Structure 1
Amino acid sequence: MSNEAYVHAVLPGSPGGPLLFLFHGTGGDEHQLVPLARDLLPGATIISPRGDVSEMGAARFFRRTGEGVYDMDDLARATRKMAAFLRDRIEAEKPSAVLGLGYSNGANILASVLFAEPALFDATVLMHPLIPFEPNVRGSLADKAVLVTAGRHDPICPPNMTARLESYLRAEGADVTVEWHDGGHEIRPSEIDAARRFLDRSANKSKVDE
């Protein structure tokens, strides 16, 4: 599949350095998270696709039939398409580490790709994910580094769903860190700081392991 499968933004980084994929939230676009990502991991090559589904004009990565109710057939389609897009770009870039960061709907598609093809990523940041289905991991999450950030009063991603995701990831052997704040669905400075530390550590770990 062509790597033009998605409209996407590319910010070149240091040759042979880490590659950071970004996945925006509902209503965002390929530019939504780029300034944040550039601040979080300077020097990384950044690739940010735009969701190919429109929900009343708001871009998303897969369809849903209601708040928190996913069209599972379309999620499967989107997961296959996104995984192919990522593989193409990874092959072209040949990075030292492959990292992913997604927010809200972007965190959900990132998680779905992680379940489908764990080997694609060295580490992932899931900001306010909502996984209301039983994941089916095809491969191994053993020792995969995952940072989950969440709000204790998030009306879209309830804390019990975050706790369930954490338990599932740990049971699959993932190296999970959870960063909570006392707000809702918004991104707060504490989780940005946690993401910065996590991505820097993950990128440098890959260099040490080479």
Structure 2
Amino acid sequence: MRTLVVLAAATSLLLALTACTGTDEEPTSRPSTSPTGSPTSSPSANPGSSSPLQPAPDPISVAALADADLPGGDLRLGAVRERTDSFTSYDVTFGSTRSGRGSRRMTISGVLNVPTGRGPFPAVVLAHGYIDPAYYERGQGMTRERGHLATAGYVALHVDYRNHAESDDDPRVETAVRLGYSADVVAAARALAATDRVRVDADRIALFGRSMGGGVMLKALGAEPGLFAAGVGWASVSSLEAENFAQFQASDASTARLRAATRGRHGLPTDDPAFWRGISARPLLDRITEPVLLVHGRLDETCPPRWASATHRALRRAGVDATLEWYDDQHAFGPAFVTAMDRTVRFLRDSMPQ
């Protein structure tokens, strides 16, 4: 892994960086074929911005992301990448922002699959997992998911994130890039809702994250409750960033500079647990108003299955309508991919009915 992505302040670091092996805690339940049931409590009301009596949140935190204005729009269709009987695929760009309304506008690249037909179509924003930005190519990481969704009748917008492919670079890459990823998927949803270039049903836009993108998804739902109609997380990283650090960085000798830089500004998770909790999704799960589907493989060698169980429990405790589905597969989802995607499409149809 290249050290350019080394977050000198390591602040948002913060989802998973690379694949890694470890001792996974295998779930004992079998894969279910239906939702696990309704939560015992209703989702809590959305809290507003920080009370004047409370200190302002750390500017590098999910709470600060929730307080920020995160505009998006100006979806532009570029070259046609592919045409099939079911959909047409385009290179696209749209607008995001570095830190909120009034700050410098950024252009984010991506790939858009548009189903054949008149629409308006429901849509899904796709948040991919970690791929070294030095080698990442436009639309990489969720090609199968994008095609499956478009064939099922969903506009699918794959977000490249800032500092990836043809997206603009964010000079804060060394301090807050990962939170910027969540800002970019929020901007993508707003771009889809506002565009007149594709017929999208603005009330039926979901967010689907894979691996690192699962953490991006949860942070975006917590930061912007009500923007999306549903959330999906496949093989997701932990909703606690200290666990991601321990799994993906703490034992890797190549991250010595990263660990030193982190210690210098905020400390390692054991030095500054409040900061690391603040950049995690879990403390703001009670802001989520949308149903959430988590999909995980019992044999996941990268993101331990116990993380999915813990996040699911935390979501349910927070009053979120959350479902966890297990499959006998690994992190990349090979044999179970089609079955899991069919289940995901059913969840989206149930969550975003016409």
Q: TM-score if structure 1 supplies the norm length? A: 0.76
Give matches, 1:160-171, under 5 Å: 160-171=306-317
2:256 matches 1:149: no
SS at match of 1:48: strand
Secondary structure at 1:99 match in 2 = strand
- Structure 1's unaligned 5+ residue stretches are 63-70
99-108 or 89-98: which moved more? Answer: 89-98
The residue number in structure 1 matching 2:180 is 77
Corresponding residue for 1:68?
Answer: none
Contact 2:126/2:158 (<8 A) preserved: yes
* Matching of residue 46 in structure 1 with residue 193 in structure 2: no
Q: Deviations over 1:127-162 (max 9, x none)?
A: 1111223423287324x2211111223232112211
Counterpart AA for 1:170: R
- In the other structure, the counterpart of 1:10 is 112
- Provide the residue aligned with 1:91 in structure 2: 194
CA distance 1:129–1:79, change in 2 (3 Å) = same
1:33 positional shift: 2.1
TM-score (norm 2): 0.48
Asked if 1:184 corresponds to 2:330, the answer is: yes
Identify which of structures 1 and 2 has the higher relative contact order when contacts are C-alpha pairs closer than 8 Å and 6+ apart: 2
Alignment coverage as a number of residue pairs: 194
Match runs of 1:10-29 below 5 Å: 10-13=112-115, 14-27=118-131, 29=138
Q: 1:78 to 1:31 in 2, by over 3 A?
A: closer
Structure 1 residues 76 and 196, CA, compared in 2 at 3 Å: closer, same or farther?
same
Partners of 1:10 and 1:183 in 2: CA distance: 28
**Alignment CA distance shift 1:115-1:194 (3 Å):** same
Runs of 4+ off more than 4 Å: none
Secondary structure in 2 matching 1:136: helix
3-state secondary structure, aligned to 2:300: coil
Q: Using the alignment, how far apart are the partners of 1:203 and 1:49 within structure 2?
A: 22
Which runs of 5 or more structure 2 residues have no equivalent in the other structure?
A: 1-71, 74-93, 96-106, 242-279
What residue identity is the alignment partner of 1:113?
Answer: A
Instruction: Report the counterpart of residue 65 of structure 1 in structure 2.
Output: none
**Distance of aligned partners of 1:36 and 1:74 in 2 relative to their CA distance in 1, 3 Å threshold:** closer
1:132 equivalent in structure 2:
240
Question: Structure 1 residues 96, 83: CA separation in 2 closer, same or farther (over 3 Å shift)?
Answer: closer
Q: Verify: 1:122 aligned to 2:229, yes or no.
A: yes
Q: State the 1:205 CA deviation.
A: 4.8
Aligned-pair identity in percent equals 20
Say if 1:138 and 1:183 are closer, same or farther in 2 by CA, change over 3 A.
closer
Deviation of the 1:126 alpha carbon: 0.5
The residue identity in structure 1 corresponding to 2:221 is L
Which whole-Å CA distance do the structure 2 matches of 1:175 and 1:181 have between them?
20
Deviations 1:152-173 (A, max 9, x none): 2323211221111111111122
Distance 1:139 1:73 in 2: 23
- Please identify the structure whose Cα radius of gyration is greater: 2
Secondary structure of the residue that 1:25 maps to in structure 2? coil
More helix per residue: 1
The answer on whether the counterparts of 1:22 and 1:102 sit within 8 Å (CA) in structure 2 is: yes
Of residues 8-17 and 23-32 in structure 1, the stretch that sits farther from structure 2 once superposed is 23-32
Residues of 2 paired with 1:164 and 1:139: CA distance? 15
Could you say what secondary structure the match of 2:330 adopts? coil
Please state whether the residue corresponding to 1:157 is helix, strand or coil: coil
Change (3 A) 1:26 1:180: same
User: For residues 45-64 of structure 1, what are the alpha-carbon distances to aligned partners after superposition, in whole Å with 9 as ceiling and x for unaligned?
Assistant: 1111113346xx9x9xx9xx
